[in-house]
Structures are given as C-alpha cells and as structure tokens.
Structure 1
Amino acid sequence: MARALKPSAEYLEVMWSAVNESHFSVAGLSADVEIVVDEWGIPHIYAASSHDVFLAQGFNAARDRLFQMDLWRRRGLGLLSAAFGPAFVEQDRAARLFLYRGDLRAEWLAYGSDTKDVTTAFVAGVNAFVSLCLADPRQLPPEFEALGYLPERWEPTDIPRIRSHGIYHNAEQELARALALRDFGPEAEDLRRVRDPQNPVLVPSGLDLSVLCDEVLDVYRLATGPVNLGTPQAGESPEPQHTPEGSNNWVLGGSRTASGRPLLANDPHRAVTLPSLRYISHLSAPGLDVIGGGEPVLPGVSIGHNGHVAFGLTIFPIDQEDIYVYELNPRNDLEYRYRDGWERMTVVTETIPVRDADPQTVELRYTRHGPVVFEREGTAVAIRAAWLEPGMAPYLGSMEYMRAHDAAEFNSAMNRWGAPGENQVYAMPDGTIGWRPGGLLPIRPNWDGLLPVPGDGRYEWAGFHDNDVLPRDENPDRDWLATANEFNLPHGFDETIGVGYDWYSPDRAERIRTVLAAAQDWTVDDCLRLQTDYLSTPFQKVAPLLAELRPASPELHRALDLLGAWDGVEDEGSAPAALFEIWFRNHLRPQLLVAALERRLPPDVAGRAAARLIPQEQYSGDPRIVLRMLADPERHLGSSEALTVILERSLLAAVREAEDRLGPDAASWAWGTLHFALLEHPAHRLLPKLDGARLGPIPRSGGSDTVGSTAFSPDFRQVSGASFRVVIDVGDWDGSVAVNVPGQSGVPGSRHYSDHLEGWNAGAAFPLLYSRAAVDAAASSRIVLSPA
C-alpha cells in the first residue's frame, strides 16, 4: 500500500516559495490577512475581523500539520479504514461508539455565543488548504502520496462530535479496582493504588463482580488509544495504549519576582510525539490578541495570554466516568433489566468504508447510560461519560476564557469548562494571581464512583454540580500558587461532593512548592530551570534507610557508596541515577509488594496478585505505595528486619542488572544510556525512509517523579513529558518564552520540523514574541491570504 518517499526537491521548492513569496487566494475571507512567521516557526496572524483570523488559523494549521490533522479526524470519526484498510474496522467501530450524538444546538451553545461561528470559520480555512492541495498535488504533504490517499474536507460539526481524543482514566481504575478487590481482597487493592481520600471500597448492592474481566474495556481502550499504523518490528518496544498524562503550572505574584511583575509557568505532560501534540499560534484581530499553545485541530489557544490575562492548565482528575453492568434478557439480548422490566437498547447501524475491500456494516448499541462496550453470556457493560454531554469536546471550552479581560470574566468563563477536569492558574498585570479548577462533575447521590455499578436503575446521576462547588484561591498571602495533579482539595472541603479519588503522586508538587517558597526574586529563567528540575524526591525519602544499612557484601558496599554520595539529581550522565531507577522500579517495588502480599494471601495467590498489581503502574511509577511500606515496615512486612533483607537483596539484584545493561564498571554507567526519547512519525513503520520518520534516540534526564517529568516504559524509553513549555512574563509580554518539541511544522523537510529539539533537551526556550514591533524584527517569512 505504501512506498517510502522523501519530500522531492520540487515539493520543497513549491512549499517554501509559497511561504517566502507568500500569497494565497482563500475563499471566505472578507479582507486580506497577513501571517508573519518568526524564526522559530510561530505564525502571527493579523486580520481585520474575528471571522477572518480564525479562518486563517485553520488554513495555516493545515499548512503546517495537514497529515496530523487528517489522521486526528479519521481516528475520531471512525474513518481510518477508508485510508488504511480492513485492519482498522474495529477501531473505527469503537470510535463511532463514542461520537457525540446529542443535540447540536445545545452543544454549540454550551461553549459560548460565537463558538459555532468561530469553528465554522476555522474549518473553512482547513478546507481551503485541502482544496489547494487537491488542485495542486505539489502542495500535498509527502505522506499522502507515499500512502496513496488524499485528505478529506471537514465539516464544522466534526470538531465537537469527536470526543475520544481527551484525557480519560477513571473507567480503567474502576475496573482494575473491581478485579483486584474480587480476586485478592481489599488489602491487595490498598497496595495497588493510593486513594485520596482513603475511603473504604464498598461493593455496590447488586453488583456481580464475577462477570467482570479485563476485556470489558478493550473497545473503550481502542476508541481512546493512539493510532498504530503498521506492525512493530522485531526488537521494537510496544507503544503503550495510554501514557501517564499530567502537568505542572504555577503563578508568582509581583512580591515574589525580581521584576515586580507576575510570572506564569506551564508545562503540560503528554505523550512525546512527532509532530508535537501542541501548536503555537498568535491571533490578532479587533477585540482579540491572544498567543499560546493549543491543538492544531482546534480554533483558539488553551495555554497562553491575551495581553490582559495569562492562563495555564494541569489535569484536575475529576471522576467523569462510570461503568454500568447489565443483566440481559435471556430471550432478547437487545434488552437489559431496568427497574421492574426490560428496556431495549438503541441500535445504530453504520457503514464503514474500507480501502481495497467492501464496506463493512457495523452495529452500535447504546443503553440509557451510554455506549455498550462489552457483551458476553447474558451480561452487557456500558460506559457513562460526562464527556459525552453537550459542551464537553476536549479543550474547546477555552474559546470563552481566552478572551477574558479580567479575573471576573475569566472565572465566569471557567463556569462553562467541561472536559477534561483542569486546574487553571491565571495572572494579570495588576498583580492578580489565581487558581480555578473546572470540569463537569456528576452528582452521585448514593455511591462514590469507586467501582462499577448495576445498570438497573439503582445508581443514577442526579444531574451535575455547578463549578462553583469546586474550591478556588486568589491572591493568597504567600503570593504564589502551584498545581501538579496532586490531591489539592483544601482542608475542610466537603468530601461528599465526590470530586474523585485517583490523584497523582504529590512528589512534583512538593518539590515545586519547596523551591517556590525558598526565593523572592524569581525570573523567567528561574521558572525554566524549575520546569527542568530533575531532583528525585523519592530518593531523598529512601536515602536515610540506605544510610543505615551495614551489609557484608563488598558489592553492596560499593553500591551504597555510589548512592550515598549522590545528590539525587537524575542527570543523564549520572551513574547513581541509573542504579537508583533500576533498583526502585524493577526490584525494590516488586519485592516489597510480594512480601506484603505474602503476609495477607496464600503463597500461590500472592504471586498472582503481584503480577496483576505491578503492571498497573508500569507507565507512571507512582512511588507512594513503596514509600508507605518503607515508612511502616512492621505493618506491611512484619518487622524492620524483613525490610532490611529486602533492601539488601533488591539492591544486589539491581547492581547485577545494571552490570548486564551498562557494563561491569560503575564509573561508566550513565542514566541517559538507558533512559532515552525516541520521537516517531505515526507512519514510521509504513514509511521508514521518510525524511525525519524517527528522531533520536536522545539521552534524557529526569524520571517519572521529577518536576521535569520524563515518565518511561519498562525499557526506560520516555513515553510522556513536557513537549510544550511556556513561561509568561505578565505585563512585559515580549519577555515570555516557550518551546514546542520537535518543532512547529509537521511537514518532513521543513526547517521548523525539528528545530526546537535540541533546545528542548537542553532545557532552553525561545522568545514568545507578542508586540508587532518585536514580531516584525524576528520575521523569517510573510504570507498574505486574500479573498478569492
């Protein structure tokens, strides 16, 4: 189906002559639009109206990211098979199950008064560039020719209908919790994952745990997971279905900064991809002058500033999902028990076009709660998701707050925010700083959402909480605020509201707060350094235990000396960092877990329980369970002596693994030899000779628990982290900085395809220019769009 292809000289000549000579006729514009592209690839779009600026944003995003955008749309709408063949029919069916199918009028109104008009203009711009490519194939990005298909035109409703690209994780935790509880009991579940608050897990009345299995969520995973084009080659590490996704953000008031102006920093932690998930744009029109990072498929920006308010977000893990389990009618598997009778499922039949094959007809089933993802032997399972309600397309809610002029307008706009749950921090030139979480929160009147529930009518949402029930803070006495996905509900908050239980480890948040509180002369450069801070707080907590060990083995003495002299900074060149991560992840955690389970379960069951529980954290490395066992060995292991045995035995095993991986000489070990980033084009397996199909491997510092998060898979490859960073100098806007790895463009061969990669790895950033004078001084090209 595919042929390897580098961009031809003809293609690059056309591409760059278009950019540098810069004139396109675009249908739908009311006046000329000027796009000034600076030397870092940031488009600064100047238009005479809001309509024109968003149309130009769509055109320009497609100019830089058309293949990525087309793949996003195909995956979200269930159209992969039309381009890539029969292997994707099941993923297309799964995606179609989770499309928004509700009232589109209510959908558009949920975001704001003009979101429909803005999205329509944006999509018109995307379609204008698609039409340009179809009329002149020399403009077509090389992937389409190599893979043998063409991009399609969009509909404005494509954007709000697609919901499966958001950040979701609660359903996975409900199922994992249920299976651990059923098979190994509540003590094993307590060792699987931390709950905040630590409420007991109670099985809902009527729930039959025996009908559940891991395959219950296979369709859900397929719908919300990445697109894997091609078959993995021998020796390639498997791509995770879901990577850990968090973020850091903070705001500092003027009393804490060297300039007296507020600073805002944000570095979302998502999958490190090629091209980047984020795209930076500057949109300037009457009544709007906003710059920052968004997603190339969406109008506007979600992280940045508008000359009045700076804003940045992290995940606030609201529980927005529930698993419903149904008894099916033995006489009719389209009916499920509800209240005192049988209720019929809604059935939608759709035809999926398939490349080089006949179209496939698929059946989509829905209960009153949501899409049916599993059926077997008289049981059905459906997902109820708040993100399938009106106004919940991921990040489209930023259309309202990105135009706020003050704190009151910003907070009012956040009342509309739906999905995913977010911690927003904001800052203004007058010195105001604030924290405002938001997200659609279901009211569960008679259960807590920790486990699946029967779908027979006993467990129904009673509407949604108003966002005002969530806590907030503005201008605290300490004059700074920070979030890092940790449990941050304030003391005294009403826990019965049931925000959620699956929060992230507090290690990043603790480190950020310690560093922020220690200085009062913060600068933009200081914030950048904190964003790439690689101190391991888990090591700091473990180090005192290691210092007390007195092993007889010379091999262990050398390992303890190596760790004892370490400052805990996981630099890519660090030998002790390599040993620590091998030990903590691969040996200490599993040995502690097995020992703790053996005290609670029969030996044969303990081994199976450990095998089940350990993979739950393989892509996040949450250290809290380990640290709790280390802090209270009598409770978890029976004695301090048992802990000593495990520490020595596990460390010796780690030394031997390090020697196998890195050689016998510890002086030559380096964390970056093991820990690396490898950025891969989504079609790299189909197009291995495509220019820039793979970037790396790149030795990386940090780990899963450092502020500069570089969470990794079992083979130590970085799977997520801050591909986009921004620090905003509030009031001196041209003093702001950003980086977007590997670059702004997704076009192989473009000068902006990977020009941010080296700076990103070094913890550097480029100026995020805002004023027209600064933009013009840094211009590298100019594009004029004229009405057709």
Structure 2
Amino acid sequence: MSPNPGDSATHRFPVPGLAAEAEILVDRWGVPHIYARSPDDGFLAQGFNAARDRLWQIDLWRRRGLGLLSEVFGPQHVERDRAARLFLYRGDMHGEWLAYGSDTKRVATAFTAGVNAFVELTRSDPGLLPVEFTRLGYLPATWQPEDVARIRSHGLFYNLRQEVARARTLRDFGPAVEALRRRLEPPHELTVPEGLDLSLIPDDVLAVYDLATTPPVFAAAAVSGDDVAPPSGQHSNNWVLAASRTQTGRPLLANDPHRAVSVPSLRYVAHLATPDLDVIGAGEPALPGISIGHNGRIAFGLTIFSIDQEDLYVYETNPADPGEYRYQGRWEPMRVVSETVPVPDGEPVPVELRFTRHGPVVHEDPQRHTAFAVRAAWLEPGMAPYLGSMDYMRARTWDQFVAAMNRWGAPPENQVYADTEGTIGWKTGGLTPIRRNWDGLLPVPGDGRYEWDGFYDMDQLPGAENPESGWLATANEMNLPPDFPADRVIAYDWYAPYRKQRITEVLDAGRALSAQDCVRLQTDYVSIPARRIVARARELLAGEDDVDRPLALLAGWDADLAVDSPAAALFEVWYRRHLRPVLLRAALSRLVEPERIEAALRAVLPDEVLLADARVDLDLLEQPGDRFGPDPDAVLAGVLHTSLTSAVADLERVFGPDRARWSWGRLHVARLRHPLAALLDEPLAGRTAVGPAPRGGSGDTVGNTAYTPDFVQSAGSTFRIVVDVGSWDDSLVMNSPGQSGAPDSPHYADLFSSWAADEAFPLVYSRAAVESATEQRIVLEPGPPRSG
C-alpha cells in the first residue's frame, strides 16, 4: 500500500485519535486538500499528511533542532548537536504555549499525533518508509508536542553575524574600511561601545552559533566542525493591490519568499478545511497551520522586516574559575547543564552546556579570561518561528488580523493583507528589543552596562491601511516611514532596496494588473544596479575603442538579465568577478598599506551566497568624492576599462569569441542535490538530483536567483503565490521542485521545469474545483489507540 500519489485508487489508513473519518484529496500538482469534521481532526490529519509526503525531511528537521543527528549519522555531528541544544527554548512551557494562539498547544498535540500515527504505520509496514531511511538503516522518531515550540534554529536571524563582521573589520582596518563593507540605514555614525575591546573578539567566535543555525552538510567522511553550510539568501517580495488597481476589480496579493533552493523544498502547499476553518497556502512541513495564503475571507503574505533581535555579549571571566563572569562588580556563576548525545554503537557522549543571564555561551577563552554569549529575542517565550500564524490565519477582518499580529514574534516580518471587503494593509511584526544606551551594531560588554529595557509594543511598529496609491509592497528594504521616531531603533542592517525599486517602477506605471501579471513581476529580471552601472560606464568610457564592442553590447541592453541574453552574461561576469573587486581594491588602496589591501578586500567583499548588495559599489561609482584622489573619474575609467576587458576575455574562454553564442542561462543554472547525496549509493544519488535548468536574474532582481561563485542558483523563490481575493480558484501558485519529498513519488520534481520557466499553476480551493483536479483520494479512519 503506497502513500504516494500517482495511483487513482482510494487509500485507507487507520489513524489513532481521529474522532471521525477525514479525507485528503491530492490534486494533479500534488497539493493535499484535507477535509475534517473538527479542528482537532483537521490538524491531526495535517500532521499525518506532512509525514506521508515529507517524513524524511521533517524527521531531519526534528533531529537537527533537538540535537539528535549523531544518533543516526554518527559522532562527527556531536558538536553540532551540542550547539543545537544550546539554542533550544528551555523556559516554562505553560507560558510558552499561552504566548501563541489560545489553542496552540492543542493544535501541536493533534499535529504531532498525526505525524506519530504515520510513523507507527511505517513500523508495521516498512514499505511506507522513505528510501533515505531504508538505505541508511535507521527509523523515523516519534514526536512530542513541545518539539514544534522548543526548536528555534530553523528561523531567520538578525543581526549577530553583522555585529561580528563589523567588529572584525573595525578591529583590523578601522571605520573607513568598514564603510566599504556595509551601508547603514538610516544613516548613522558608528561608535564602539564603551568598555568593548575589539581585540578580544576571535575570528571564530560564532562557530558554535553557525553550527546551531545552519543546515548540516553530510559527507561520506565528515569532520567535526566542518559540516557547516553557509546561510543562504533570506529575502522575499510581497505586494497587495486594491481592487481599483486590478483588471478584475478584486484585490490581488502576491508573495514570493526567497530561501535556499533545495530538494525537498522548504515550503509545503496544503489546504486545511474544517467547519470553522478553510485555509490554503504554504507553511513549513514540520509545523501546523498555514503562514502564507488565504482563508476564504482574507489573504496574507510575509517578507522579512529586519528587526535587530540579537546581541553578542563579551564577558571577563574569573582567572580562578572560568565558569564565573563579572556582572555588576561581582563574579556570577554560569548555569551549567549536563546532557548526553546518543551515538550509534557506542556509549552516549557527555556534553556540557553553559549559559549566562543573557543566553547560551558560544565561545570561551580561559587564556584571555573571556567568554561570549548570545542574547536572542527568538529565545523568548512565544518565538518559535512561524508558529505565531496560528492566530492570524483564522482572522476574518483587518482589525482581527492586526490584533493577531500582537502574538507574532519570529522571524520579524512585513505582513501584507487583503480581504473580500476591499481592505488592503501592511503590518510589521516581531519582538523588538529596546536598547536605551547603544545601537546594537557591535558586541557589548556583558558586565551589566548594556541591558535590554523590555520590548516595543506591536503598535509601535509601522503599518498602513488602504493607501491612496492603491498598493503596498515590501522587499526587505529599509521601509521605516519618514516620520518614524529616530529614537525608536529597529535596525540599521537592512537589505538593498533594488528589488523594491523595481516593484515600485512597475506598480507606479498605473496599469491595472492581473494575477498573471503579478507572476510576471515575481519573475522579473530587470536589474536596477545593472542599469545604473552601465549608464555610468557609458559616461566614463565614451570613445574607448578597445572596449567599444562589449560596451556597445551593454549600451544597447535594457538591463534585463534574461536567460538567453548575451549582455546579461557579460554584465554578471563583469560585475561580480571583475568590476566589484577591482573597484573595491582601488578604494582600499587609499585606506590601507599595500601589503594589507588583499586582506582588507577579503573583509569587505560580499559573499554572493549570502546576499546581493550593490549599495557600496554604486556609491563609489556615482558619488566618488575624494575617495579615489583628485581625479576620481580618471581612476574610475581605468577601473571600468580594466575590469570590462578582463570580463570579455573571461567569457571568450568559456564560450568562444562568437558573442551570439553567449547567454546568461548557459552559465547561470539551477541544479539541486539531495542533502544526503554523498551518503547514498548510485543510482539513488543521481535519481534524487534535480536539474540543471537555465535561469535568468540575479540576487539583485525581483525574480531573485542569487548564486554561488560558479553561478549555480543558491536561493530564490521556489514557492510563489498570487491570491485572487474573492475569486479564490483563480489564484496561482508554484512550489519547486515538487510537493513530495519522496524520490519515488511522481510529485518529487514534477514542478521543477515549470518553475524554471517562470510558470504557475492554479491553487484550487472550492470543493468542486478540488474534486475536478483530484488525482488521489486518501481516507483516514478512526483507529485503535496506540499501545503503550
């Protein structure tokens, strides 16, 4: 009996805990439509279905979050497991549950009971087990309701990594070099907190934090501490259009969150229908509910709002006892928790977890009598990522939605909203620390001088309702209103504004849009930085014969990074590989000694895997001032000439001299590899891979396709949705590479080619439309209670 789609027969499963029969209708795109007669049965069926389609993925999520990877993958993951345990929520669960929606504990209990019901079925019928378990010889675990709330390490986090990168650059090179690394918004003068000795901060101070907050890398012979994947791009776009701005006279809401491009997909599209709730959209498969979508009355979608929710504290420790740190003039003991990490075929490995009053200790240096701990708002009660959607997904009006956002904690978000009454809105949410005497941009001493003074109320965060423009949009840019109080500090580390600028450009054109127009905007590849860089190059290189042909290719180009564009290939290779480093090297040459320029360049060059950010580059090109000496235009012309000539030679080595054969999609591709590929034998390792497919765009475009140094897409919107508010069956969605995480399922990668072609499919909602699209019917029947 297979739980996977592709078989038109009805499958029946006994499910302990169900009060009445429930149905799961799987449509031709792999989307499950879950019908139940009560909320408890609905969330139980949602958990069962999540395990049916994504069991290996959600089991890995739980193991990673709870620090139990070593139990099945070996002792090389003990340090990662220890790190994960440092960042679990360890507070009172009673208060934790109450911090979410009023019935969140009940929902989590039902959801995890559904997961466990499917896990128990795999024990009696191993044919239901995903292939990853059978190949690697382990079994999925059962869950506790607390697992969905205690695990925090799958969220998005701000701004600890920036604090440390800033401190290191200041430590080694000073503020002028730091200004070439990162742009602060709103403009702000950087000052080192009193008492902070930058020399005490080691380069690897966040090694444990990185182990806790990044996905594991599995290799055939992993080395402890080396299995760290860099965090991927964490952008998003969303917008909402009033009825007056659409072709149908109904509001439209669009959302395309940008995360790692992976197999299985991070998101899972589902429909949950009970007598008091009928919600459809996407969430993360290991969590109950829906965080992006609609409920038949309101639609909602989110992007990151970059609240600074983290601080690194630097402590002086007691030379006589490194387990004590100085706080308010006395030695205070760290709290020590001793645990064991199970490993295969051996005794459990003891680990020691240390905590200060501010949070988990991530680094200790007894020789220098220092220790470092992380204070994170996302370790407070009610901060499990996305679990706050329990309340707002059930709202029926704008006022109810805004009230529900009071319970939203993490990640910090821009929510856009639309309803059938015609209201559109934007509301930010997230737990925001109040720092009375510092700005959060650098680590601070942990001796009591730098403490959070509570948190801002949600109504102190910005929002808007029914603007005159008829639309609202966010794209992670600095979007604090002009009249926002300057002393109410939210953050200074924001993403670049270019995606939002392009969205504004399109929406301000005034044309009434359709749902399909919104899909086209979600996959728009016009690069604002490319447009401005090429314009500056034309200005400075006019008449340069030896670069005339490539410059002419760019000069006649519309800055669209289309998949088949020769100019796009030239621009991206030029800008990322040649222009940016040559430009920054020229700026650094006036700030640091010649022998230190390359080290400084490594400190300020953006990591393309993490983000695209042209703010510093454009400022240097367009407003050079005296940063390149008395004749900046001459210096910049040389930079542009040298780098463009090198880029042309680079492309000719790859494609040959015939520029008609150049195309961006020949370089820039999406290629997905299963996380366990290194541990799987052939042909399974090859069978779990997806792609390659040519891609347009970059990390600077609305259609975000951020890439690694070899131009392989690393992040972007694998999930996209456009909600036609009120005509719900006309909504559109995409979730690449497919809905299922099972390699033997026809829905494992069936959406990949459509996604790569920038297409979408119908998000059917009404029962009639669902029935007409049903591919497989699953019936869940009340079953006997589990033994034991």
Compute the displacement of 1:452 (Å): 0.2
Whether contact under 8 Å (2:158, 2:307) holds in the other structure is no
CA distance in 2, matches of 1:370, 1:544: 49
Q: Which residue of 2 aligns with 1:5?
A: none
CA-based RMSD of the aligned residues comes to 1.6
Compute the displacement of 1:346 (Å): 0.2
CA distance in 1, matches of 2:390, 2:8: 28
Compute the displacement of 1:357 (Å): 2.9
Q: Which residue of 2 aligns with 1:53?
A: 42
CA distance in 1, matches of 2:533, 2:173: 28
1:269 pairs with 2:254 = no
CA distance in 2, matches of 1:121, 1:141: 23
Q: Which residue of 1 aligns with 2:247?
A: 258
Compute the displacement of 1:54 (Å): 0.2
> What aligned pairs does 1:223-302 form with structure 2 within 5 A after superposition?
223-231=212-220, 240-302=229-291
2:457 pairs, out of 459, 466, 480, with 466
- Give the partner amino acid of 1:749: D
Q: Which residue of 1 aligns with 2:618?
A: 627
> What aligned pairs does 1:337-416 form with structure 2 within 5 A after superposition?
337-376=326-365, 377=367, 378-416=369-407
2:184 pairs, out of 195, 202, 212, with 195
Higher alpha-carbon deviation: 385-394 or 552-561: 552-561
> What aligned pairs does 1:274-673 form with structure 2 within 5 A after superposition?
274-376=263-365, 377=367, 378-550=369-541, 555-616=546-607, 619-638=610-629, 639-673=632-666
Q: Which residue of 2 aligns with 1:780?
A: 775
- Give the partner amino acid of 1:178: A
CA change 1:580–1:231 in 2 (3 A) is: farther
CA change 1:89–1:519 in 2 (3 A) is: same
Whether contact under 8 Å (1:585, 1:621) holds in the other structure is no
The 3-state SS of whatever aligns with 1:495 is coil
Whether contact under 8 Å (2:295, 2:394) holds in the other structure is yes
Compute the displacement of 1:555 (Å): 4.5
> What aligned pairs does 1:112-127 form with structure 2 within 5 A after superposition?
112-127=101-116
- Give the partner amino acid of 1:91: R
Compute the displacement of 1:181 (Å): 1.1
Whether contact under 8 Å (2:609, 2:714) holds in the other structure is no
Compute the displacement of 1:238 (Å): 10
Deviations 1:336-358 (A, max 9, x none): 00011100000000000001332
Compute the displacement of 1:15 (Å): 4.7
CA distance in 2, matches of 1:517, 1:140: 51
- Give the partner amino acid of 1:250: W
> What aligned pairs does 1:6-25 form with structure 2 within 5 A after superposition?
15=4, 20-25=9-14
Q: Which residue of 2 aligns with 1:689?
A: 683
CA distance in 1, matches of 2:687, 2:437: 54
CA change 1:555–1:87 in 2 (3 A) is: farther
CA change 1:633–1:238 in 2 (3 A) is: farther
- Give the partner amino acid of 2:191: L
The 3-state SS of whatever aligns with 2:258 is strand
CA distance in 2, matches of 1:556, 1:99: 56
- Give the partner amino acid of 2:443: P
CA distance in 2, matches of 1:550, 1:390: 58
Whether contact under 8 Å (1:85, 1:357) holds in the other structure is no
TM-score, length basis structure 2: 0.96
The 3-state SS of whatever aligns with 2:604 is helix
Whether contact under 8 Å (1:165, 1:224) holds in the other structure is yes
CA distance in 2, matches of 1:239, 1:521: 46
Q: Which residue of 2 aligns with 1:3?
A: none
Whether contact under 8 Å (2:462, 2:480) holds in the other structure is yes
CA change 1:398–1:47 in 2 (3 A) is: same
Deviations 1:569-597 (A, max 9, x none): 11111111111011111111111111111
CA distance in 1, matches of 2:499, 2:613: 11
Whether contact under 8 Å (2:7, 2:776) holds in the other structure is no
Q: Which residue of 1 aligns with 2:705?
A: 710
Compute the displacement of 1:568 (Å): 1.1
The 3-state SS of whatever aligns with 1:216 is coil
CA distance in 2, matches of 1:685, 1:616: 25
- Give the partner amino acid of 2:215: P
CA distance in 2, matches of 1:231, 1:786: 42
Deviations 1:429-465 (A, max 9, x none): 1110000000000111111100000000000111111
CA distance in 2, matches of 1:612, 1:92: 30
Higher alpha-carbon deviation: 725-734 or 627-636: 627-636
Tell me the percent identity: 58
Compute the displacement of 1:558 (Å): 1.6
Compute the displacement of 1:551 (Å): 7.0
CA distance in 1, matches of 2:175, 2:537: 31
Compute the displacement of 1:18 (Å): 8.0
Deviations 1:715-759 (A, max 9, x none): 111110000000000000111010100111001111111111111
CA change 1:550–1:43 in 2 (3 A) is: closer
CA distance in 2, matches of 1:534, 1:219: 37
Compute the displacement of 1:685 (Å): 1.2
Q: Which residue of 1 aligns with 2:33?
A: 44
Deviations 1:232-270 (A, max 9, x none): 99xxx9984111111000000011011110000000000
- Give the partner amino acid of 1:664: P
CA change 1:258–1:239 in 2 (3 A) is: farther
Unmatched 5+ stretches in structure 1: 1-10
CA distance in 2, matches of 1:640, 1:350: 62
Q: Which residue of 1 aligns with 2:765?
A: 770
TM-score, length basis structure 1: 0.96
CA distance in 2, matches of 1:730, 1:689: 45
Whether contact under 8 Å (1:634, 1:640) holds in the other structure is no
2:141 pairs, out of 132, 152, 157, with 152
CA distance in 1, matches of 2:243, 2:221: 51
Higher alpha-carbon deviation: 458-467 or 602-611: 602-611
Compute the displacement of 1:663 (Å): 2.3
Compute the displacement of 1:603 (Å): 1.8
Higher alpha-carbon deviation: 126-135 or 647-656: 647-656
Whether contact under 8 Å (2:87, 2:153) holds in the other structure is yes
The 3-state SS of whatever aligns with 2:687 is coil
Compute the displacement of 1:16 (Å): 5.5
Compute the displacement of 1:484 (Å): 0.2
CA distance in 2, matches of 1:140, 1:15: 11
CA distance in 2, matches of 1:483, 1:768: 23
The 3-state SS of whatever aligns with 2:679 is coil
- Give the partner amino acid of 1:733: W
- Give the partner amino acid of 1:356: D
Q: What is the number of equivalent residue pairs in this alignment? A: 774
Whether contact under 8 Å (1:276, 1:723) holds in the other structure is yes
Deviations 1:199-254 (A, max 9, x none): 11111111111111220000000100111111499xxx998411111100000001
